Amino acid sequence: MAIQDLPSGFAQSKRNALLSVLTLHLLPAILFLPTPGCGPTESVASDQFSFQVRLDESMLQFCKRMENSQGPSCDELDLAAASMPEHPLLFPAVSAGQLPPQKRSIRNLIRFEGLLTPGDHQIPLKQDRAQQAKELLGYVLQSAQDRFNRLEQKAEAPDASNNTSDPTTRQRHSPGSKKTLTQRERIILASIVEKEAVSNRNYDRVAAVFLNRLDGKQALGSCPTVEYGLGYHRPFLLFKDLELQSDYNVYKRAGLPPTPIAQFSDEAYLAVLNPANTEDIFFVYDWTTGNLHFAVEYRDHKTNAARARANFISKYGKSPMYQRFDNLYYEDLPEDEYRKGD
């Protein structure tokens, strides 16, 4: 007999009992279904909070994803960061004036930039989001310390090899031939290497270029670092971008920026520890081939840059050189001005 065929009072009690059973069994599963961008897709234990860190993303991008997935908000994470005790890995606070507007509200959280390990993570579930934010940041610091200790031990092994580029460069620099970096400086440089190595992943050779520049007391000259200070990405920086008054403008100031600029892979960190054996000072990215072209001499770099630009114009036309593909952020530059930028 169907429930609807029973007397109304009895049927109603049956419906209520059935709904209670369904609610009791289904509600926990609904509450703890993983949300987009947070953790793996398989079932998650009710006492665990699951989240994901993406390679190459900034702390602002990470906290925005957390916010959109019902995790702690950027404000909650920043408040938690402000209350965290000092730790050897935490970077000194950056003044608001050094940051683009959208990053100023997470100044405390910026101290954790570069310390997140890409991948899926689970931590104990807390009763409210403020507590969850503190739990998350405490976990970040502990896992980062464990990660960097492991990678530094790996780099010291006799057969350590993180190399991803030309086999002829797969030699470590002799001790003392490269600038000695602190752990914080290694983390900062690894984030730059991650952003600069792009699709062909010449981690060790890109690391060598920046270490060579630091050794030679040259400006680091990293475009992604300037973009971090600008607050947005450009395929090609404009000359006015290089006038940015920020410690992230490493065309204007010597040395490394004050913090990392993204989360990075193990390979990028290992490349900083074991850079390629090369004297390269320059490299340029060819957007049409996905290749990096390296050079020791500036005249060779200019040739590589001219070839990459010609390839780009041949494939896409001149206009996209001055404008991003979606016309966002870009403005036209006179041809004679653009030629000065090589």
Q: pLDDT tens for residues 233-248? A: 776 677 888 899 999 9
Do residues 112 and 140 touch, judged by C-beta distance below 8 A? yes
Phi, psi for residue 5 in degrees, rounded to 5: -85, -10
Check residue 6 and give its pLDDT.
Answer: 33
Check residue 23 and give its pLDDT.
Answer: 45
* Residue 32 exposure: Cα atoms within 13 Å on the Cβ side: 17
Mean pLDDT score, 329-336: 38
Mean pLDDT score, 47-51: 93
Mean pLDDT score, 199-224: 90
- H-helix or E-strand spanning residue 263: none
Check residue 3 and give its pLDDT.
Answer: 35
What's this model's pTM, rounded to 2 decimal places?
0.77
Q: Which residues contact 333 (CB under 8 A, 6 or more apart)?
A: 238, 239, 322
Q: Which residues contact 41 (CB under 8 A, 6 or more apart)?
A: 34
Check residue 237 and give its pLDDT.
Answer: 78
Q: Tell the residue number behind the tokens 């005790």, with chain if given.
A: 85
| Percentage of residues in the chain having pLDDT higher than 90 | 58
Check residue 156 and give its pLDDT.
Answer: 87
Query: Sign of dihedral through CA atoms 190, 196, 198, 203?
Result: negative
pLDDT greater than 90 at residue 316: no
Q: Supply 141's token pair.
A: 């610091």
Confidence of residue 313 (pLDDT cuts 50, 70, 90): confident
For residue range 150-172, list pLDDT tens digits in order. 999 999 876 655 554 443 343 44
For residue range 245-276, list pLDDT tens digits in order. 999 999 999 899 999 999 999 999 999 999 99
Q: How far apart are CA 16 and CA 337, in angstroms?
A: 76
Angle (CA) 201 223 325, round 5°? 85
